Amino acid sequence: MADTVSEILNNVTTGGTASLPCGEFEGPFVITKQCTVMGNNTTLWVKSGTVLTVSAPNVRLKNLRIELTGLPRDNASFAIVCTAPGVTAENVEIIGAVRGMGSEDGYWGVPVNIKLGKFPDGQKNTFKMELCVPSETEIISTAKDVSFSPARIPAGASTVTITSEPLRRGTYLYGDVIFKSELNRRAYIFGTADGDASSFTDGAAVFKAAPNMTPIPSEGRSVVLTRDQLSGYNKVSRPSERTAPTGATVPLTRGQRISAEDYLGNKVEISFSANFPSDMEIDAYTFMLDKNAKATEDDCLVFFGNTRSKCGSVSYDDKSPYRTVTVDLTKIPEHIERISLAYSVYGDDPRRNFSKVKGLTFTLKGKNTLVFSPDNLLMETTIVAVEFYRYKNSWKLCCVGAGYRDGLKRLCESTGLQIV
């Protein structure tokens, strides 16, 4: 599919519009003609190097996500590099540094995760962020009952106050925060209203930009970042896919996507560990789904009642207290596009849910060991832990860590399986 995007960019007429298809596409990509590049829920990415190079003047980028998935550790890895003037962006989200876009090139001292932790319920609470941005920036949040003041900050260093409205005890606050200038940079804000938040300090700092960093002045549109400047840049806390060491233990966080084959190899054992009440039981359920996220037959659900798929690619061992699931990626049939691994509290009592589970950790063992510990689970009785999905001719892994309050039945029905 990357060839399709490259062909669209190569074949667009000068002054015309290159309309890109929906989906994820691995680059690198180059724009050599003056045009408008219009995305449609389109993500362009590379592990290292530059995702998108713009060598033509007056190019307009619209409705795109441009992502550098490897950590930028030097001045050779960029989301966007512009070598011609007049490039503009509208509704373009990036992960990674840019070069050649004026003040967008500068140091962005903004967070990726805004962790509020536990805070008192039933009252307003405030938090502080110390930000540093190279151009005027608007702060936009989707999180309900949260506000930012000021919501628009000038270039330079600023202190922003986050205010949460009074929330009921046990409420989990979660949402997206966009730092919007010409380009968009996304963060995630989360925390829990908890009456036992005895260590809470009103006005506590939840983020501080790297010290002694100032916005880098723009000299035309060709500012180059140094190694030290890039080390403080807004980047995702994910392992670099190009440096996966064999035998390592790698921690993962919610929402991460990495190459399953690079990190785990072709055969993976997944287990879980946790502390929960003795009257609870948690079981694993593995869904084998087609391109429409549907299970085409009952055999596509592997669990204690069907411990092995017909093709032998997925098996379940309930003899172990860890409920081990084994996935062999080489044996998965071609029509299966996604392997979704869920865990559900057995029974119909809604009082038995994941809020009662402490220290939940999923361990994925292959040529490396990956560990994922989703936090802030509340009334869910079924959660999707991780998913393997096909991308081109390889398998990727996504950490989900989210679920359903109304249990396994809803999840099964969403995949086309009927529970009677």
Burial 168-207 (b: 16+ CB within 10 A, else e): eeebbbbeebebbbbbbbbbbbbbbbbeebeeeeeeeebb
Answer yes or no: do 14 and 123 share one domain. Answer: no
Higher pLDDT, 71 or 205: 205
CATH of the domain at 400: 2.60.60.30
Count structural domains, the chain: 3
Q: Which residues, at least 6 apart from 370, have a Cβ–Cβ distance to it below 8 Å?
A: 249, 250, 251, 252, 263, 264, 363, 364, 397
- If pLDDT is split at 50, 70 and 90, which confidence band does 171 have? confident
| Beta carbons within 10 angstroms of residue 382's beta carbon | 23
Range of the domain at 274: 241-414
- If pLDDT is split at 50, 70 and 90, which confidence band does 407 have? low
Cα(38)–Cα(188) distance, rounded to whole angstroms?
Answer: 26
Report DSSP state, residue 373. -
pTM: 0.57
Cβ contact 218:182 at 8 Å: no
Answer yes or no: do 200 and 154 share one domain. Answer: yes
pLDDT value of position 90: 95
Q: Is 284 helix (H, G, I), strand (E, B) or coil?
A: strand
Answer yes or no: do 316 and 409 share one domain. Answer: yes
- If pLDDT is split at 50, 70 and 90, which confidence band does 355 have? confident
Q: Tokens for 195? A: 């009456």
Final residue before a domain boundary, out of 72, 102, 132: 102
Answer yes or no: do 47 and 127 share one domain. Answer: no
Residue 339 lies in a domain: yes
Using alpha carbons, select from 240, 67, 234, 180 the residue that is nearest to residue 225. Answer: 234
Q: Which residues, at least 6 apart from 123, have a Cβ–Cβ distance to it below 8 Å?
A: 166
Q: Can you tell me which residue has the tokens 């010290």? A: 211
Answer yes or no: do 279 and 184 share one domain. Answer: no
- If pLDDT is split at 50, 70 and 90, which confidence band does 170 have? confident
* Integer Rg of the chain from CA: 23
pLDDT value of position 391: 83
Q: Is 109 helix (H, G, I), strand (E, B) or coil?
A: strand
Span 182-224, pLDDT tens digits = 999 988 888 888 888 788 899 999 999 876 454 433 333 333 3
